[in-house]
């Protein structure tokens, strides 16, 4: 619900903006935020994988 609110607010700002420089800046911010989220998700998945591997190794006596 909160995500949808933020999206709608951003869409309204983009729709009403007539300043090309502001639109460029908004686009760059969106792309940067998206790439940061993807990097965070990749890092979190890698960390979870390591923790699961360590737990499995310990459980089955490999460590």
Does pLDDT of 63 surpass 70?
Answer: no
Does pLDDT of 39 surpass 90?
Answer: yes
Q: What is the pTM of this model?
A: 0.67
Domain parsing of the chain, residue ranges: 2-59
Q: How far is CA 29 from CA 4, 17, 40, 42, 45, in A?
A: 18, 15, 16, 20, 24
Does pLDDT of 55 surpass 80?
Answer: yes
């Amino acid at each position: 619900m909160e995500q949808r609110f933020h999206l709608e607010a951003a869409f309204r700002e983009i729709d009403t903006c007539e300043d090309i420089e502001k639109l460029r800046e908004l686009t760059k911010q969106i792309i940067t935020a998206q790439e940061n989220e993807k990097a965070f998700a990749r890092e979190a998945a890698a960390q979870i994988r390591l923790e699961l591997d360590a737990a499995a190794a310990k459980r089955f006596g490999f460590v």
